[in-house]
Amino acid sequence: MSCTSSFLKNMSQQLIPINIIVADRSYRLRIEPEDEEMVRKTIKKLNEKIVDYKTNFAGKDMQDYVSMVLLWYATEQQKPTPTEIYNTSSQEKLNKIEELLNKTLSAK
């Protein structure tokens, strides 16, 4: 058995099959067991958003709603997290303190 086929065999043994439904369509995925909860939560959020868009926006078909949700989800992923905002803010404050200290020390 080659190294590549051994690797692929081990990979397939580690993946579990799950069935998901997105926009009334069923899909079968193979995922890492530790990712199952995250995947299911993501699918639930997407389906809830699709229902929300169907209720609040005029669309021609399910593809329109899926596209709107895809755009929403991609945009949400680009927003900084509260931790990123905090870290940026903290770093900026530390930079200002360092600048003030440098000015003070160089003035002496």
Q: What is the pLDDT of residue 5?
A: 57
Judge whether 106 lies within some domain: no
**Number of structural domains the chain divides into:** 1
Residues 6+ apart with CB under 8 A from 4: none
Structural domain of 51: 3-98
Provide the mean pLDDT of the chain: 84
Judge whether 46 lies within some domain: yes
Please tell me whether residue 80 adopts helix, strand or coil conformation.
coil
Q: What is the pLDDT of residue 29?
A: 96
Whether 19 shows a pLDDT value over 60: the answer reads yes
d(CA 4, CA 1): 8
Whether 79 shows a pLDDT value over 60: the answer reads yes
Q: What is the pLDDT of residue 102?
A: 80
- Residue with the bigger pLDDT between 1 and 94: it is 94
Q: What is the pLDDT of residue 43?
A: 96
